[in-house]
Structure 1
Amino acid sequence: MNTLAAVMQLFVAAAFVSIPVVRHRFGPAAKAAAEAELRRQNVRPEVLEENNLRFDAGGHETAAPVAVAAVMTAIAAVNFAGAAPAQVMTWIFSSLVLLMNAVIVYSNLVAVRSVEAAFRRKEDPELARVEVKPFLQAAEDAFPRWVRAQTYLRNTVVFGGSTVALVAVTLM
């Protein structure tokens, strides 16, 4: 059962690494599309840079998923080794990954509202004029269609893999 848990943890790690890989590859196109939408809305595209708004894999968009992947890989190694703390570590970190991924999915579902709120908090009059829904849609449309399927697959792997890992270590 440790091996099954470890394999699932490696799948979860790979799923998290896919986030910055996709953003790195297609983020510049998303930024260009978002800037074009801003121009259409008569908003200066430079407002993105001025407010540190990004579509690439910089900052926490890379650090957070890579950190999760590193932790899950380390726990997979503990499971492969059959070490005593494997069960407790899996219970703690796989549960945290389930919760984090639920928050990620929720934040994606309410992205328009949360970006509108974030723009209001910035107190930048130019950001306040942005029609957020078409702005975000333009950025999303710049990603290839397969990225949406990859997102669903990633979420399935994270939720399913974490759940299988938890069940596997419980049955040890």
Structure 2
Amino acid sequence: MNTLAAVMQLLVAAAFVSIPVVRHRYGPAARAAAVAELRRQNVRPEVLEENQLRFDAGGHETAAPATVAAVMIAIAALNFAGADLAQILTWIFSSLVVLMNVAIVYSNLTAVKSVQAAFRRKGDSELSRVEVAPFLRAAEDAFPRWVRAQTYLRNTVVFAGSAIALVAVSVA
């Protein structure tokens, strides 16, 4: 059963690594589409840099998923080795991964409202004029259609893989 948990943890790691890989490959196109939308709205595109808005895999967009993947790989190695510590670490970190993914899904579902609120909080009059829904839609539409399916698959792998890992170490 530890082997099953380890395999699931490796799948979860791969799912998290897919986030910056996709953003690295298609983020520049998303940024270009967002810039075009800002121009359509008569908003200076420089407002993106001035407010550190990114669509690529820089900064925390890579660091956070890479860290999750590294932790899952380390715990998978412990599960493969049959280490006693693997069970408690699986319980802790697989549970945290589920909670983090819930937050990611919620953030994606409420993106328009949260970005509008963030733009208002910045106090930048130009940024507060941005029509957020078309701005985000333009960026999202720059990603290939398969990315949406990949997102659903990634979420399924993270939720199901974490749940299976938890059950596997519980019955081991």
2:94 aligned with 1:99: no
How many residue pairs align between the two structures?
172
Superposed CA deviations along residues 26-47 of structure 1, whole A, max 9, x for unmatched, are 0000000000000000001110
- Structure 1 unmatched ranges of 5 or more: none
What is the 5 A alignment of 1:83-122?
Answer: 83-122=83-122
Q: CA deviation at 1:116?
A: 0.3
Superposed CA deviations along residues 109-152 of structure 1, whole A, max 9, x for unmatched, are 00000000110111111001000000000000000000000000
Give the TM-score, by structure 1 length: 1.00
Aligned residue in 2 for 1:75: 75
> Which amino acid in structure 2 is aligned with residue 125 of structure 1?
S
Aligned residue in 1 for 2:35: 35
2:25 aligned with 1:13: no
Superposed CA deviations along residues 52-104 of structure 1, whole A, max 9, x for unmatched, are 10000000000000000000000000000000111101000000000000000
2:84 counterpart SS class = coil
Instruction: Report the Cα distance in structure 1 between the residues aligned to 2:91 and 2:158, rounded to whole angstroms.
Output: 14
Give the TM-score, by structure 2 length: 1.00
Q: CA deviation at 1:22?
A: 0.2
> Which amino acid in structure 2 is aligned with residue 166 of structure 1?
L
- Structure 2 unmatched ranges of 5 or more: none
Identical aligned pairs, as a percentage?
83
Instruction: Report the Cα distance in structure 1 between the residues aligned to 2:49 and 2:89, rounded to whole angstroms.
Output: 40
Instruction: Report the Cα distance in structure 2 between the residues aligned to 1:162 and 1:128, rounded to whole angstroms.
Output: 39
Aligned residue in 2 for 1:170: 170
Instruction: Report the Cα distance in structure 2 between the residues aligned to 1:4 and 1:80, rounded to whole angstroms.
Output: 9
